[in-house]
Amino acid sequence: MTAPAPIHIIGGGLAGSEAAWQVAAHDVPVVVHEMRPLRSTAAHRTSALAELVCSNSFRSDDAEHNAVGLLHEEMRRLDSLIMRAADANQVPAGSALAVDRDGFSAAITAALEAHPLVTICRDEIAGLPPPDWDNVIVATGPLTSPALAHAITELAGEAALAFFDAIAPIVHRGSIDMSVAWLQSRYDRAGPGGSGADYINCPLSRGEYEAFIDALLAGQKTAFHDWEATPYFDGCLPIEVMAERGRETLRHGPMKPFGLTNPHAAHVKPYAVVQLRQDNRLGTLFNMVGFQTKLTHGEQVRIFRTIPGLERAEFARLGGLHRNTFLNAPKLLEASLRFKAAPRLRFAGQITGCEGYVESAAIGLLAGRFAAAERLRTFLTLPPPTTAHGALLAHITGGHIETIDAGPRSYQPMNINFGLFPPLAKSPTRAADGSRLRGTAKTLARKAAISRRALGDLALWIAGGRPALAAE
Ligand SMILES: Cc1cc2nc3c(=O)[nH]c(=O)nc-3n(C[C@H](O)[C@H](O)[C@H](O)COP(=O)(O)OP(=O)(O)OC[C@H]3O[C@@H](n4cnc5c(N)ncnc54)[C@H](O)[C@@H]3O)c2cc1C
Render pLDDT for 85-116 as a digit per residue (tens, 0 to 9): 999 999 988 888 999 999 999 999 999 999 99
466 CB-near residues (< 8 Å, 6+ apart): none
290: left (phi over 0), alpha (psi -120 to 50) or beta: left
**How far apart (Å, rounded) are the C-alpha atoms in residues 438 and 422?**
22
* Rounded-to-integer distance, Cα 155 and Cα 162, Å: 14
408 has pLDDT over 70? no
Q: What is the C-alpha to C-alpha distance for residues 343 and 285, in angstroms, rounded to an integer? A: 31
Task: Quick: pLDDT tens for 312-362.
Answer: 999 999 998 888 899 999 999 999 999 999 999 999 999 999 999 999 999
User: How high is the pLDDT of residue 296?
Assistant: 95
Q: How far is the CA of 449 from the centre of ligand 1 (A)?
A: 33
d(CA 358, CA 98): 12
Could you tell me the pLDDT band of residue 469, with boundaries at 50, 70 and 90? very low
Contact criterion met (CB below 8 Å) for 359 and 366: no
Euclidean distance between CA atoms 305 and 297, whole angstroms: 12
| Residue 315 CA to ligand 1 centre (angstroms) | 24
Classify each residue of 289-318 as buried b or exposed e, where b means 16 or more C-beta atoms within 10 Å of its C-beta: bbbbbbbeeebbeebbeebbbbeebbbbbb
The CA 51 to ligand 1 mean position distance, Å, reads 8
CA 51 from centre of chain: 19
For ligand 1, say whether the CB of 36 is within 6 Å of any of its atoms. yes
Query: What SS3 state is found at 121?
Result: strand
C-alpha–C-alpha distance, residues 156 and 100, integer Å: 39
Among the listed residues 412, 323, 414, 333, the one whose alpha carbon sits nearest the alpha carbon of residue 366 = 333
Spatial contact of 27 and 373, defined as CB atoms under 8 Å apart: no
pLDDT at 471: 30
Helices (H), 337-433: 357-375, 388-394
Residue 41 CA, closest ligand 1 atom number: 47
CA angle, corner 419, sides to 413 and 422, nearest 5? 120
Longest alpha-carbon distance in the chain: 80
C-beta 319 within 6 A of ligand 1: no
- Of all atoms in ligand 1, which is nearest to the CA of residue 55? 8
Q: Which atom of ligand 1 is nearest to the CA of 363?
A: 26
CB-side exposure of 266: number of CA atoms within 13 Å? 1
Going by pLDDT thresholds of 50, 70 and 90, the confidence category of residue 467 is: very low
Between the CA of 277 and the centroid of ligand 1 the distance, in Å, is: 30
Q: Is 44 in the pocket of ligand 1 (CB under 6 A)?
A: yes
| Residues 139/347, Cβ–Cβ less than 8 Å | yes
State whether the beta carbon of 14 lies less than 6 angstroms from ligand 1: yes
Q: What's the pLDDT tens digit per position in 362-374? A: 999 999 999 999 9
| Candidate of 55, 109, 143 to mutate for ligand 1, largest count of ligand atoms within 8 Å of Cβ | 143
Residue type, 116: P
Alpha helices in 338-438 (DSSP H): 357-375, 388-394
Provide the pLDDT for residue 470: 33
Distance 259 CA to ligand 1 centre (A): 43
Over residues 206-257, the pLDDT tens digits come to 999 999 999 999 999 888 787 777 666 666 789 999 999 999 999 999 999 9
> Which of 406 and 387 is assigned the larger pLDDT?
387
**Burial class of residue 52 in the structure, from the number of CB atoms within 10 Å of its CB (0-12 exposed, 13-18 middle, 19+ buried):** buried
pLDDT score for 182: 97
